[in-house]
Structure 1
Amino acid sequence: MKEQNSNTEATAFTVEQRGIDLVPENERHGSPRDLIWFWAGTNMSVFAVVYGPVLIAMGLSLAEATIAIIIGNVVSYAVLGLTSLQGPKVGTSTMVISRAAFGPNAARGYAFLNWISIVGFEAIGLALMVAAAKSVFGYFDIEIGMPGTIALLICLALLQLLLPRLGYQALMLVKKYFTAIFFIAFGAIAIYILPNADYSSLAGGGGRAALFAGIMLMLASGGFSWAGTGSDYTRYLPKNTSSRRIWWAVVIGNCIPIIALQILGAAVASVTPLAEDPISGIPSALPDVFFVPYVVIAILTLLSINASSMYSSGLNLQTLGLKVRRTRAVFFDLIVGGTIAFFAVLAPTFEDALGVFLSLFGLWVAPWAGVYLCDWIARRGKYDAESLFPTPTNKGMYWGIGGVRWSAVVAQVGGMIFGGLWAEVEGVFTGPLMQASGGVNLSIPIGFIMGFLVYLLLAKKAPEPERPGLGQLR
Structure 2
Amino acid sequence: MPGPAEPTTPAAPAAVEQHTIDHVPDHERHGRVRDLFTMWFGTNIAPLPLVTGAMGVQVFHQSFWSSVLAIIVGQLVGGVFMALHSAQGPQLGVPQMIQSRAQFGAIGALLIVVVAAAMYVGFFASNIVLAGKSLHGLAPAVPVDAGILLGALGSAVICWIGYRLIHTLNKVATWVLGIGIVAGLAVVVARGLPDDFFTRGGFTFAGWLATVSLSALWQLAFAPYVSDYSRYLPRTVRTASTFWATYWGSCLGSTLAFLAGTVIGLAAPGTDDTVAGFDSAAGSFGPVILVLFLFSVVNHNALNLYGAVLSLITIGQTFRTHWQPRQAARGAVSAVVLAASLLIAVGLAGDFVSQFVNLVLVLLVVLVPWTAINLIDFYLVHRGSYALGDLFLPDGGRYGRFNPVALVSYAIGIAVQLPFVATSLYTGPLVAPLGGADLSWLVGLAVTTPVYYLWARNRGETAPASAQRNAPREPATSA
| TM-score of the pair, normalised by structure 1 | 0.89
Structure 2 counterpart SS, 1:20 = coil
Mean Cα displacement is larger for which, 170-179 or 275-284? Answer: 275-284
Q: Does the residue aligned with 2:61 lie in a helix, a strand or coil? A: coil
Unmatched 5+ stretches in structure 2: 1-8, 318-322, 466-479
Q: Deviations over 1:58-98 (max 9, x none)?
A: 11111110111001111111101011122111110111111
Q: How far off is 1:43 after superposition? A: 0.3
Q: Is the 8 A contact 2:197 2:267 kept in 1?
A: no
- 2:229 corresponding residue in structure 1: 233
Q: Distance in 2 between matches of 1:449 and 1:326?
A: 38
Equivalent in 396, 403, 406 of residue 404 of structure 2: 406
Distance in 1 of aligned mates of 2:406 and 2:280: 50
Over 3 Å counting, the alpha-carbon distance change for 1:6 and 1:128 in structure 2 is: farther
For 2:150 and 2:56, the matched residues in 1 are separated by: 33
Alignment partner of 2:86: what SS?
A: coil
CA contact (8 A) 2:264 2:274 kept: no
Cα 1:278–1:458 change in 2 (3 A) is same
Q: Identity of counterpart residues, as a percentage?
A: 26
Q: Letter of the 2:88 partner, please give it.
A: Q
Tell me the amino acid that sits aligned with residue 469 of structure 1.
A
Residue 293 in 1 paired to residue 296 in 2? no
TM-score calculated relative to the size of structure 2: 0.88
Superposition pairs of residues 208-227 of structure 1, within 5 angstroms: 208-220=205-217, 222-227=218-223
Distance 1:6 1:285 in 2: 49
Structure 1 residues 271 and 434, CA, compared in 2 at 3 Å: closer, same or farther? same
Q: 2:173 aligns with which of 178, 186, 203?
A: 178
- Structure 1 residue 238, shift from structure 2 partner: 0.7
Q: Which moved more, 1:115-124 or 1:294-303?
A: 294-303
**In the alignment, which residue of structure 1 is the partner of 2:100?**
98
Cα pair distance change 1:150/1:212, threshold 3 Å = closer
Are residue 389 (structure 1) and residue 392 (structure 2) matched?
yes
Partner residue of 1:265?
Answer: 261
- Quickly say closer, same or farther: Cα 1:155–1:272, change in 2 above 3 A: closer
Match of 2:87 in 1: 85
Q: Distance in 2 between matches of 1:187 and 1:152?
A: 26
2:471 corresponds to: none
Q: 1:424 aligns with which of 408, 422, 425?
A: 422
Task: Provide the residue aligned with 2:248 in structure 1.
Answer: 252
Shift of 1:278: 2.6
State the shift of 1:53 in Å.
2.4
Q: Aligned AA for 1:421? A: P
User: 1:206 aligns to what?
Assistant: 203
**What are the within-5 Å matches in structure 2 for residues 451-466 of structure 1?**
451-462=448-459
Q: Report the RMSD for the aligned CA atoms in angstroms.
A: 2.2
Instruction: Report the number of matched residues.
Output: 444
Residue from 323, 329, 332 that aligns with 2:333: 329
1:459–1:470 contact (8 Å) kept in structure 2: no
Distance 1:60 1:308 in 2: 31
Separation in structure 1 between the aligned mates of residue 35 and residue 77 of structure 2, nearest angstrom: 22
- Deviation, 1:155, is 2.6
Which among 335, 338, 341 is matched to residue 345 of structure 2?
341
Q: What's the CA shift string for 1:294-329, capped at 9, x where partnerless?
A: 221111111111111111221111211255522322
CA distance in 2, matches of 1:424, 1:245: 37
Measure, in 2, the Cα distance between the counterparts of 1:295 and 1:192: 14
Deviation of the 1:264 alpha carbon: 2.5
Deviates more, 1:163-172 or 1:445-454: 445-454
Give the distance between the partners of 2:260 and 2:336, measured in 1 at CA: 36
Q: Indicate the residue corresponding to 2:6 in structure 1.
A: none
Give the alignment partner of residue 156 of structure 1, picking from 148, 151, 155: 151
Give the Cα–Cα distance (whole angstroms) in 2 for the partners of residues 125 and 15 of structure 1: 24
Letter in 2 for 1:303: V
After superposition, the Cα gap between the structure-2 partners of 1:299 and 1:274, relative to the gap in structure 1 and judged at 3 Å, is farther
Given that 1:41 and 1:304 are in contact with CA atoms closer than 8 Å, whether structure 2 keeps it comes out as: no
Identify the residue that residue 162 of structure 2 maps to in structure 1: 167
Match of 2:358 in 1: 356
The separation in 1 between residues aligned to 2:464 and 2:176, in whole angstroms, is 47
**Superposition misfits of 4+ residues, deviation over 6 angstroms:** none
- Please give the secondary structure, in 1, of the residue aligned with 2:436: coil
